[in-house]
Amino acid sequence: MALRIKRGDTVVVLSGAEKGKTGKVLRVEEGKVVVEGVNLQYKHMKRTQQNPKGGRVRREGALHASKVMLWSESEKKAQRFRVEVRDGKRVRVGAKDGAVYA
C-alpha cells in the first residue's frame, strides 16, 4: 500500500485520544505514521554502557495513516489532496486551496 503522507509533512490527528493535535511526520512505516509529540508512550530501557541509568523514556508511538490528514497552512485546517502530473512530475495538490505539497 503506497502512502501519500510523507516524512516531513505537517499533519493533524483526526480521531482518538490525540484528536486535534498537529505535528511533523517523523517516520512512515507500513500503513502507519509516527508524528512528533503525538501518541507518547513509555519505553522501559535496560541499563547499558551507552545508557548507564536506564529507566523510562517517552517516545512517539505509531498511528494508523487513516487517522491523520495533511495540514494546510493557508486554510489553517486539515484538507484533502489529490495527485496531479505537472511538468512531467507527480505532485500533491490541495483540494481546496490548490497549494502544491512537495
- CATH number of residue 54's parent domain: 2.30.30.30
Domain membership of residue 63 (yes or no) is yes
What DSSP state is assigned to residue 55?
E
User: Looking at the 3D structure of the chain, how many domains does it have?
Assistant: 1
**pTM beyond 0.85, yes or no:** no
Q: Distance between CA 64 and CA 96 in Å, rounded?
A: 24
Residues of the chain with pLDDT under 50: 1
Domain membership of residue 84 (yes or no) is no
Range of the domain at 56: 10-72
pLDDT confidence of residue 5: 92
Domain membership of residue 82 (yes or no) is no
pLDDT confidence of residue 33: 96
Q: Distance between CA 38 and CA 60 in Å, rounded?
A: 6
Domain membership of residue 56 (yes or no) is yes
